């Protein structure tokens, strides 16, 4: 008999035996694969974490006991088990459920986790709150080995050990985040997981432990285990040095072992870490064999695993970035590339394949990526640091203190700027221009097409430019020819006049230029004479262009795929007001609220800067 279709609440599985739990895990995998084949999502991580979700809801009294998933990519089984089975069919759709845990979506989602490395700090806060309030509940953080490289995770571990809070951290170790993991922690976990001495003793422990006198026996044996690891391979226990009692590694895809272990650990107070080994994409052969692609594969045939690929001949912006960076690096030996675990996502892997010694994947550590880049610049190199716009928020202090304040030339390329689509509020690149516009010694540029991105990257390497942010959107470009084109210098802070007119002026920045141009053309057919500037730079602002616009018309419209509060609109309005011009400045862009998931086209319309909205504003 099928089990999953009858589960509306995780309490229903608490009486299941091992055979039923295994069947449930199999049904969950089939359901995730079927749903994600038709409605794309992050499939690989969730397939690997099915047993973790089932075991946690089997052993713990959720939602009274708190589970924090880090990141939400691995939480699909959790969502399906907690009353959202049917809603999962509209996962990541407009008006559907989020692709990540959200506090306002379900009481089982104890903390919103769209960005990585937050779970330990959040779960620790819950553990301390439980202690202070006398409300006895368990707090569990489920964190991947990729997310564990983030500095915030170590800050949480350090504090947890000092506070001696009742916290369980489950380290879901599958050797990969999106790309293969790198760094010393990754090597350490591999060493622990493959230690012959440690695993021999660990097997003896788990085979001999009984329910009675469990705690004393376990403490004694694990002291011996720690000594054996040190003696056997020269490694010390990183986690125990931070005050966390370490258990594992165990097979995280064996539901019987995992459930039994959690039952036992549930009775042990204080901060503890369970190291589980899982397989990303577990149970679906295509996802197991190509884990990077199957992190988020798009649509596919669930029976064959054949992916539905786009037939577009247009390049993606990330491809323009990756190929241009390699071309520039071939000509300039000081250029180096830095990415926080997004080598394939931003296409820096193109340069990595040819020049591996000049590309650095620093793991999921955006703040470190920027300060590391500043250190490279301080010693004469020219770093291109590529970070997804939404993730760059975590490096804001480093951009101010370590780059701009010291006048160091770092070229920050922010991929996924603006509305990104189905990943929703945690991933839209809404705030980069607005946040960074307040920082001195910094240029902020937004190309309108592929060729302009290429030329901005080239121009930023020249002495005329200081530290520079170049932000561009996710996905495909405009189809503009860029390959093998000669580089052209773009003057810093110089706008381009697209059309002239006196009825209304439209100042746009970034790729929305093309929607504006089409709206201007249609307005012209209705007799409106529109002045249109592609501003190209939010900082420095081309004040000559704004002066000209104010001399021609009393109506200015700004359009940007970014937050209007603090972005291009704010820059123009501040200047117009300061000069005392008799002009109104109307803002079109991302409004002062968090925008949920949906297709980019749906969200442009919802935010009010679709082509139709721009035309309406011009004609109003």
Residues annotated as catalytic (active site), given as ranges: 280, 366, 394
| Helix residue spans in 209-293 (DSSP H) | 214-233, 238-241, 255-265, 285-289
Residue 590 CB contacts under 8 Å (≥ 6 apart), including other chains: 418, 419, 428, 430, 560, 561, 562, 563, 564, 607, 609
Cα dihedral 425, 427, 429, 432, rounded to 10, equals: 100
Which strands, in side-by-side order, build the sheet including 245-251?
66-70, 139-144, 167-173, 272-277, 245-251
Of residues 188, 181, 183, 131, the one with CA closest to residue 160: 131
- The answer to whether 533 touches 507, Cβ cutoff 8 Å, is yes
H/E stretch holding 351 reads helix 349-354
HSE of 343, CA atoms in CB hemisphere, 13 A: 22
Other Cβ atoms less than 10 A from the Cβ of 572: the count is: 27
CA distance 365 to 328: 25
Does residue 249 have a cis peptide bond before it, meaning omega lies within 30 degrees of 0?
yes
Question: β-strands 443-445, 537-539: how paired?
Answer: antiparallel
Other Cβ atoms less than 10 A from the Cβ of 290: the count is: 15
CA distance 539 to 442: 7
């Amino acid at each position: 008999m099928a089990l999953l279709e009858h589960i509306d609440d995780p309490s229903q599985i608490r009486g299941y035996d091992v055979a039923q739990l295994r069947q449930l895990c199999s049904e969950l995998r089939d359901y995730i694969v079927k749903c994600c084949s038709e409605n794309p999502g992050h499939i690989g991580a969730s397939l690997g974490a099915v047993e973790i979700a089932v075991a946690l809801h089997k052993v713990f009294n959720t939602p009274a006991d708190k589970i924090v998933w880090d990141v939400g990519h691995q939480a699909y089984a959790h969502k399906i088990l907690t009353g959202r089975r049917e809603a999962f069919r509209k996962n990541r759709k407009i008006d559907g459920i989020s692709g990540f845990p959200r506090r306002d979506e379900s009481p089982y989602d104890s903390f919103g986790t769209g960005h990585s490395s937050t779970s330990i700090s959040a779960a620790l806060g819950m553990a301390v709150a439980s202690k202070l309030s006398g409300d006895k509940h368990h707090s569990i953080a489920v964190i991947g080995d990729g997310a564990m490289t983030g500095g915030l995770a170590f800050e949480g571990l350090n504090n947890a050990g000092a506070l001696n809070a009742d916290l369980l951290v489950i380290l879901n170790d599958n050797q990969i985040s999106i790309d293969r993991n790198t760094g010393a922690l990754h090597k350490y976990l591999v060493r622990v997981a493959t230690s012959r001495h440690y695993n021999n003793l660990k097997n003896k422990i788990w085979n001999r432990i009984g329910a009675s006198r469990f705690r004393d026996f376990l403490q004694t044996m694990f002291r011996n285990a720690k000594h054996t690891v040190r003696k056997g391979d020269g490694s010390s226990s990183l986690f125990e040095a931070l005050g966390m009692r370490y258990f594992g590694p165990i097979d995280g895809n064996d539901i019987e072992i995992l459930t039994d272990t959690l039952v036992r650990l549930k009775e042990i107070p204080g901060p503890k870490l369970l190291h589980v080994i899982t397989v990303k994409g577990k149970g679906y052969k295509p996802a197991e064999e190509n884990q990077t692609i199957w992190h988020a594969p798009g649509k596919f045939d669930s029976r064959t695993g054949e992916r539905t690929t786009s037939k577009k001949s247009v390049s993606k912006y990330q491809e323009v970035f990756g190929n241009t960076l390699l071309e520039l690096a071939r000509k300039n030996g000081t250029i180096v590339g830095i990415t926080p675990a997004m080598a394939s996502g931003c296409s820096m892997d193109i340069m990595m394949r040819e020049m591996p010694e000049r590309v650095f994947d620093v793991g999921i550590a955006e703040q470190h990526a920027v300060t590391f880049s500043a250190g490279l610049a301080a010693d004469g190199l020219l770093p291109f640091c590529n970070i997804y716009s939404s993730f760059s928020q975590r490096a804001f202090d480093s951009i101010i203190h370590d780059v701009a304040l010291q006048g160091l030339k770092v070229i920050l390329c922010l991929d996924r700027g603006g509305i990104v689509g189905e990943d929703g509020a945690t991933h839209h690149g809404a705030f980069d221009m607005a946040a960074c516009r307040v920082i001195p010694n910094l240029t902020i540029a937004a190309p309108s097409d592929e060729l302009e991105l290429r030329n901005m990257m080239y121009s930023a390497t020249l002495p005329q430019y200081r530290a520079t942010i170049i932000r561009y959107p996710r996905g495909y470009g405009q189809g503009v020819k860029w390959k093998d084109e000669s580089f052209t210098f773009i003057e810093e802070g110089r706008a381009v006049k697209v059309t002239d007119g006196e009825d209304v002026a439209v100042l746009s920045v970034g790729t929305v230029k093309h929607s504006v141009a089409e709206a201007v053309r249609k307005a012209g057919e209705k007799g409106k004479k529109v002045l249109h500037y592609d501003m190209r730079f939010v900082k420095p602002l081309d004040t000559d262009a704004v002066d000209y616009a104010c001399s021609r018309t009393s109506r200015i419209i700004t359009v940007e795929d970014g937050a209007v509060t603090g972005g291009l609109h704010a820059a123009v309005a501040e200047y117009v007001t300061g000069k005392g011009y008799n002009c109104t400045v109307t803002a079109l862009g991302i409004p002062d609220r968090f925008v949920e998931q949906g297709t980019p086209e749906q969200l442009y319309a919802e935010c009010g800067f679709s082509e139709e909205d721009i035309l309406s504003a011009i004609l109003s």
